[in-house]
Amino acid sequence: MDYKKYILPHIWDLKPYSSARDDFKGSDGIFLDANENPIGSGLAENYNRYPDPLQVHIKDQIAQVKKCSADKIFLGNGSDEAIDLLIRMTCTSESSSIIVCPPTYGMYEVSAALNNVPVTTINLTAEYQLNTDLIIKAIDSTTRLIFICSPNNPTGNLMNREDIYTILNSFKTGFIVIDEAYIDFSDEPSFIQELGEFPQLIVMQTLSKAYGLASLRLGMAFANPTIIKLFNKIKPPYNIGGATQQLVQKALENSHFVTESIQYIKINKSQLIADLKHIDGVLTIFHSDANFILVKFIRAQELFDYLILHKIIARNRSNLALCNDSIRITIGLESENKELIHKIKIFYTKNDV
């Protein structure tokens, strides 16, 4: 793939910010280059020095876990940063566009709007699968990015792998992003292993879900090293803070936590689904490969308001395409799920179905 053709020329030619530590590698020295406070931070641990802009240690750890080389990894302040940088790298408001497949994660459209980039929407099918033929028909000379979310938020299901291959084989004049934020909860392999086969593929993942690190803000984009270099060139130099880097390093050493969390969430998802099936106000429980379920309820809005009143906060997705009367429920602790079921039962007893 001739990457230069699909990257904005001013980005391709950009001379990046040269960071204070570019000229010296090592942690011992008298550092008088970055206008930091030499004394410390007034905390038990010191954070007075700027962090590693390329996050070498965590990338090495992630490379091992994800079985790919470190030069194929970009780390962002959440995957939201990677989404935004990618749009800024490839799209102008005049001559570019992106394709998204609603109902899906809202940030693709928000980032596009923020950058004044037109969006073509091709809704999922009634079964919440990719409308492959329509997507391929919608591709034109302005298409720079196609966003595919699998498992999809808010529907929870994986996209058919064959459909993704069809799109990968049909679109080579821009980039295809597969957002795998919830892949750790599914039984499907990641598309990271397909990067060699498809040079236009960018896979995104995050530590905000199965890894339990949403507050630290660490998102990952996996792509050809040429694309990763461009990400690194245009990102704010110190986009991942030192405290985040330290804590992520520790968390990645504790792989048991992730495995056990996934197991716990899967068991409790099955239980929650089983309990919901006994409630008359529940119309449909959609299949989920993620850590949440989308459920269609009778009088969804009223139920949602009732739950909020009782301090149970779910996500009403009823106003999204193909999601009428549907609420997205994250799998909580066993006790939290029980309380949710209890409150839903009371709601429907009070308000005859």
Ligand X SMILES: Cc1ncc(COP(=O)(O)O)c(C=O)c1O
Q: Which residues bind ligand X (CB under 6 A)?
A: 78-80, 105, 149, 153, 179, 181, 206, 208, 214, 219
**CB-nearer residue toward ligand X: 92 or 115:** 115
Which residue stretches of the chain are H helix? 9-12, 56-66, 79-90, 107-114, 132-138, 161-170, 225-234, 242-253, 255-277, 300-309, 334-350
Are 195 and 224 in contact by the 8 Å Cβ rule? The answer is: yes
d(CA 318, CA 326): 5
The least distance separating ligand X from the CB of residue 108, rounded to whole angstroms, comes to 9
330: which strand partners? 292
Q: How far is the CB of 83 from ligand X (least distance, A)?
A: 7
What letter does residue 294 receive in the DSSP assignment? Answer: E
Compare residues 163 and 179 and give the one whose CB is closer to ligand X: 179
Name which of 303, 291, 234 is nearest 8 in CA terms: 234
Residue at token pair 């206008």: 35
**Could you give the CA distance from residue 219 to residue 230 in angstroms, rounded to a whole number?**
16
What single letter denotes the amino acid at residue 46? N
In this complex, which beta carbon is closest to ligand X, that of residue 82 or of residue 282? 82
Minimum distance of ligand X from residue 79's CB (angstroms): 4
The residue among 55 and 206 lying less far from ligand X, judged by its C-beta, is 206
Task: Pick the closer one to ligand X by CB: 244 or 344.
Answer: 244
The residue among 128 and 306 lying less far from ligand X, judged by its C-beta, is 128
Nearest to ligand X of 72, 317 (CB atom): 317
Find the shortest distance in angstroms from Cβ 151 to ligand X: 8
* Distance of closest approach, residue 81 Cβ to ligand X, in angstroms: 7
Rounded distance between C-alpha atoms, residue 249 and residue 213, angstroms? 12
Q: Is 323 within 8 Å of 334 (Cβ atoms)? A: no
Whole-number Å distance between alpha carbons of 325 and 122: 21
Q: In DSSP terms, which residues pair with 100 in a beta bridge?
A: 121
Question: By Cβ distance, which residue is nearest to ligand X?
Answer: 78
